[in-house]
Amino acid sequence: MCVDMENNNQMYEIFSKLALSENLSQHEAQMVASKIFATLTTDEPNGLAFSTAFFGALTIKKPSVEELIGIAKAMDKTKTVNFNFKIDKPIVTAGGTGGDTLHTINITTPAIITAAAAGAYAVKSGSKSFSSKTGCIDVADALGVNVHLMPSEVEESVEKIGTVIWASEDVYPWMRSLIGSGSKSSVKQLLPLLYSLRLVIATALNPFSLKRQVRGVSEPFTELVAKVLGECGYKRAFVVLGYGETEQIRFDEFSTLGRNVVSELKTNGAIETFDVYPESVGIKRRGKLEDIVARNSHVENAQVIVQVLSGKDKSSRRDIILLNAASILVMSDVCRDLRDGYELAEQTINDGRAFTKLEQLIQFSRDKQTFRTIN
């Protein structure tokens, strides 16, 4: 009883600070986050309401570096898997926060496959759709990829074929509850008020325990996220906000429609922020908004990926996937800059390596599922 009273007093003090727009200490943020993840894991009745109240208040105040670090530490303690990849080259992951101003086709997933085909070790974790039409795991499943490999099989996939697409809910027990809540109409209405939750996932979600990534954000927090990634042990990262023809259109990936704001975390710990335009990397035409709007079903969105990776689709859908593959190739030390990465990614699709890599991933992952079913 005394313990509950003490916890209640602590929570009251923390929410009072947030209401006054005061930043929490790293310890306070870690304590609240630990409680949130525990309630979501055990499906406590008030867990979702508690987490919504906290992240809503944090969004209104705007999260600090120390708060995001504290939450990241709490999230890291919930991991149930730690990987040990026997690879002496950088492994890169990529993903976005969500929250785009419109639903787009899946961009990062085919970019990962293309980068792996071009010589990078590139991996993708994800979930079923939370706020988009088709999540990474939805589209991978529609492609025929088994996204629920055992941890040892994940390691084998990366070591043998250079890539994997994996459901990160298998690492974080609280994710199933959070993803399930995304289908509720009340939660969908609150999502615009919960951008701090997206920032938490951008800075803290690291199921593969990697030190390099390309991370997209859909709000102007590139430098903040880059700083937190550096404090959390990342060695190198691109954090990007992509724009359309106007700044009212925003994407959590590199965009071929307009300006990209990029904050790069360098190996010496420094952060440099700069703009990237499609023309500066050798793209001859700007993208069309109608080309990248999401299709109506998981299968249709998967078909878009097949058409691009097979070389049949040469529209601006291809360009935006190539640019994002280029960013992964740079982070992997395969290419020195985005222009070189774009050219290599284009060659990789043209000569059939990208589609072959997709086939390898499907075959490897399905074979593992078949083996477990038989045995």
pLDDT of 52 reads 87
- Compute CA distances 366 → 75, 94, 103, 125, 147, whole Å: 30, 23, 29, 17, 9
CA 81 to chain centre: 18
CA–CA separation, 200 vs 215, rounded Å? Answer: 12
Closest residue by Cα to residue 128 from 253, 324, 298: 298
Q: Is residue 61 pLDDT above 70, yes or no?
A: yes
Q: Do 173 and 334 meet the contact criterion of CB atoms below 8 Å apart?
A: no
CA 239 to chain centre: 11
Buried b (16+ CB within 10 A) or exposed e, 283-292: beebbbeebb
Beta strands per DSSP E along 1-144: 91-96, 121-126
DSSP assignment letter at 315: S
pLDDT of 5 reads 46
Instruction: Count the residues in the chain.
Output: 375
pLDDT-derived band at 182 (thresholds 50, 70, 90) equals low
- Decide which of 263 and 47 is more confident: 263
pLDDT-derived band at 91 (thresholds 50, 70, 90) equals very high
Q: Is residue 85 pLDDT above 60, yes or no?
A: yes
- Decide which of 359 and 97 is more confident: 359
CA–CA separation, 75 vs 97, rounded Å? Answer: 16
Rg value, the chain, Cα: 20
The average confidence (pLDDT) of the chain is 90
The share of the chain scoring above pLDDT 90, in percent, equals 76
Closest residue by Cα to residue 98 from 206, 194, 170: 194
* CATH of the domain spanning 91-172+208-358, picked from 1.10.3720.10, 3.50.50.60, 3.40.1030.10, 3.30.1110.20: 3.40.1030.10
pLDDT of 131 reads 52
Residue 262 bridge partners (DSSP): 240, 274
CA–CA separation, 46 vs 52, rounded Å? Answer: 10
pLDDT per residue as tens digits for the range 99-144: 777 889 999 999 999 999 999 999 999 876 555 556 889 999 999 9
Domain range list for the chain: 1-78+179-206, 91-172+208-358
Q: What secondary structure does DSSP assign to 210-258, as a single string?
A: -SEEEEE-SSS-HHHHHHHHHHTT-SEEEEEEEE-SSTTSEESS--SSS
CA–CA separation, 353 vs 117, rounded Å? Answer: 6
CA 205 to chain centre: 8
Q: Give this prediction's pTM.
A: 0.93
Domain 1-78+179-206 has CATH 1.20.970: yes
Average pLDDT over residues 240-258: 95
pLDDT per residue as tens digits for the range 193-213: 688 988 998 899 999 999 999
pLDDT-derived band at 369 (thresholds 50, 70, 90) equals confident
> For the range 86-89, what are the long-range contacts, defined as Cβ-Cβ under 8 Å and sequence gap of 24 or more?
86/155, 86/159, 87/121, 87/158, 87/159, 89/121, 89/332, 89/333
Q: Is residue 186 pLDDT above 80, yes or no?
A: no
